[in-house]
Structure 1
Amino acid sequence: MILRLLQRLVVLVTSLVVASLVVFGFMRVLPGDPARVALGVNASDAAVAQLREQFGLDRPVPVQYLDWVGGLLTLDPGIEFVSRAAIGPQIADRLQVTLWLVVASMILALVIALPVGLWMAVRHRHWDGVVLSALSQVGVAVPAFLAGIVLISVFAVRLRWVPSGGWVVPAQDPVGFLQRLALPTLSLALVQAAVLARYIRSAVLDVLREDYLRTARAKGLRPVQALVRHGLRNAAVPVVTVLGLQLATLLIGAVVIERVFVIPGLGSLLLDSVAKRELLTVQAVVMVLVVAVLVINFVVDLLYLVIDPRLRTGAR
C-alpha cells in the first residue's frame, strides 16, 4: 500500500514537472514580444528594453523558468504586463467561482446519473430502460454550451424564473447566488450525467453477467440485493475512472459555460488574458488547470486502492 502510494506520488511530481516545462516552453515559442505588445508599436527600443529587464525577459530561458516555478510555489506568479495587476489574487478570486460551478455540476450529475444508470442496467430489456438509454445518447451528443443557450431561452427569457447570467457572492446574496448558479450548473450537469449514466449502465451490465452474482442469486438473494451487496463495488472501479475524466472535462467545459452565462470564473480570465495577450496570466491559469487535472488523476488512483483490495494486496 505504502509502496503504491509512493509510486503514485513520484508519477504526480514527474507529471507536474513535465507539464510546467511544456506550458512554459509553449508560451515562449508564441510569436511576438510581450514587452512590445504591452507598450504598443510606437514604444521606443529603450522603453521596451527597460520593461523586458523589469519582467526578467532578458534573462536566460532556464533562469526565467526557475523564477516562474518559484513564483508558482510561493503563490506569487507575478504581475501582468499591461495593467500591472497582481496575477495571484485574480486567479484566487476566479478559482473560487469556477470551483462552485464545477463542484455543484458534478454533484448534480452524480445525483442524476447514479439512479438512471442503475435503472438502465437493471431494466435494459424493458421499454423504460430502452427509452432512458436513447435519451442518454442524445445527452452525450449535445454540447454543454448549446444546452446552456436552450436553458437560457426557456427559463430566463420566456419563463423569467432565473437570471440569464451574471454572478453574486454567496455571502452577500444567497438567493441570488443560487438563482445565477442554477442554469450553468444544469447545463454542465445534464451533459455529464448522460455520459456517466452510460458508463454506469455498461459497468453494471458487466457485473450482472458475472458468475458470482448468479451464485448470490441462486442462494436466495433478489437481483437488486445481490447487486447491492456483491456487485456495486466491482462496478465502481471503471465508473471512478470515468468520473475522474469527466471532472477534468468539467474544468475545461466551464471555460465556455462561463462565457455563455457571463460568469467571472477562471475560464473568463483565461479568455480575457488571451485577448489582451497577457501571457503571464495565460501561463499561470493554464498551469492551474493542468495541476487540477493531474491532482484529480492522483486522487482517482488512490480511490482504486480503497475500492479494489486486490490492488492493495498486489502492492505488498
Structure 2
Amino acid sequence: MLLRILRRTGILLASLVASTVLVFAFMAVLPGDPARVALGVNASDEAVGQLRREFGLDRPLAAQYLSWIGGLARFDLGTSYISHAPIGPQIADRLMVTLWLVVTAMVIALVVAVPLGTVMAMRHRRPSGVLLSALSQVGVAVPAFLAGILLITVFAIGLGWLPANGWTPPDQDPVMFVKQLTLPALSLGIVQAAVLTRYVRSAILDVMREDYIRTARAKGLTPTQALRRHGMRNASIPVITVLGLQLATLLIGAVVVERVFVIPGLGSLLLDAVSNRDLIVVQDVVMVLVLAVLVVNFVVDLLYLVIDPRLQVSSR
C-alpha cells in the first residue's frame, strides 16, 4: 500500500508541474498588454514601460515562469495588475466562500442521490422506480444556473421565504448565512444529485446481479439485507469515482451560480479578473482550481485502497 501511495503522490506532483506549464503558457499567448490595460489606452509609453518593469513583464517568459513558480512555492501569489493588492489574501477569502457552497451542495447531492438511487435500483421494474428514473433524467438536463433562477423565482420572489442573493459570513450572522447559502447550494446540489442518482442506481443493479448476492439471498436474506451486508461496499467504488469528477464539476458550476446569486466566491473573482484583464489573478485562480481537482483525484485514489480489498492485496 505504501508503494502505491508513493506512486500516486509522484503522479500528483508531476501533474501539478505540468499544469503550471500549461496554465502559464495559455496566459502568455493571450493577446494584449496587461500593463496597457491597467493604465488605460491614453497612458504614455513611458508609463506602460515602467509598469511592465515593475511587474516583471519585460523579462523573458522563462524567467517570468520561474518567478511565478517560486512565488507559488512560498505561497506568494503576486500582486494584482489592476488594484496592486496582494492576490493571496483575496483568493483565500474567496476560496472559503466557494468551499462552503461546494461542500454544502455535495452533501445535498449525497443525501438525495444515495437513497433515491438505491430505491430506483431495488424497484427498477416497478412504476415508482421508473418514475424516479425519469425525474432524475430530467434533472440531468437542467443546468445549475437555470435551477438557481427557478429557485429564486419560487422561494425568493414568489414565496419570499429566502433571500435571492447576497452573502453573510457565518461568524457574523449564522441565521442569515444559512438562509443565503440555501438556494445556491440547492441549485448546485439538486442538479448533481440527479447525475449521481443514475450512477448509484447503475452500481447497485450491477452488484445485485453478482453471485455472492444470489448466495446471500439463497441463505434467506432479503434483497435489502443482502445489499446492506454484502453489496454496499462494492457498489460504493464506482460512486466514489463519480464523486471525484462531480467535485470538479461543482467547482466549475460554482463560477456561474455565484454570479446568479451575487456571492463573492472564487468564481466571481475569476470572472471579475477576466473582465478587467487582470491576467495574473486569472492565472492564480485557475491554478488553485486545477490544484483542487488534482487533490480530489488523489484522495479518491487513496479511498480506493481503503474500500477495495483487492487493491490492498495487489499492492503488497
Query: Shorter-chain TM-score: which interval?
Result: over 0.9
2:99 aligned residue: 99
1:72 aligned residue: 72
TM-score by length of 2: 0.99
My pick for the range that moved more, 82-91 or 99-108, is 82-91
- Residue identity over aligned pairs, in percent, reads 70
What amino acid maps onto 2:308 in structure 1? Answer: D
**Structure 1 residues 274-314: Cα deviation after superposition (integer angstroms, max 9, x where no partner):** 00000000000000000000000000000111110111111
**1:95 shift after superposition:** 0.4
How far apart in 2 are the matches of 1:259 and 1:155?
Answer: 18
**1:273 shift after superposition:** 0.4
**Structure 1 residues 111-159: Cα deviation after superposition (integer angstroms, max 9, x where no partner):** 0001000000001111111110000000001001000000000000010
My pick for the range that moved more, 150-159 or 69-78, is 69-78
Alignment of 1:175-254 (within 5 A): 175-254=175-254
Is residue 37 from structure 1 mapped to residue 37 from structure 2 by the alignment? yes
**1:82 shift after superposition:** 1.7
How far apart in 2 are the matches of 1:27 and 1:44?
Answer: 24
TM-score by length of 1: 0.99
How far apart in 1 are the matches of 2:281 and 2:208?
Answer: 50
Alignment of 1:52-63 (within 5 A): 52-63=52-63
> Would you identify which runs of 4 or more consecutive aligned residues in structure 1 move more than 6 Å?
none
How far apart in 2 are the matches of 1:180 and 1:92?
Answer: 20
**Structure 1 residues 141-200: Cα deviation after superposition (integer angstroms, max 9, x where no partner):** 100100000000000001000100000011111110000000001100110101111000
Structure 1: which 5+ runs fail to align?
Answer: none
**1:43 shift after superposition:** 1.7
What amino acid maps onto 2:193 in structure 1? Answer: A
Alignment of 1:125-164 (within 5 A): 125-164=125-164
How far apart in 2 are the matches of 1:82 and 1:187?
Answer: 33
How far apart in 2 are the matches of 1:233 and 1:83?
Answer: 51
How far apart in 2 are the matches of 1:246 and 1:45?
Answer: 47
**1:210 shift after superposition:** 0.7
How far apart in 2 are the matches of 1:215 and 1:82?
Answer: 67
**1:85 shift after superposition:** 1.3
**Structure 1 residues 206-255: Cα deviation after superposition (integer angstroms, max 9, x where no partner):** 01011111011101111111111111111111110001001110000000
1:4 aligned residue: 4
1:300 aligned residue: 300
1:266 aligned residue: 266
- For these two proteins, the number of residue pairs brought into alignment is 316
**Structure 1 residues 19-58: Cα deviation after superposition (integer angstroms, max 9, x where no partner):** 0000000000000111111112222222111111111111
My pick for the range that moved more, 57-66 or 284-293, is 57-66
2:116 aligned residue: 116
2:46 aligned residue: 46
How far apart in 2 are the matches of 1:233 and 1:78?
Answer: 45
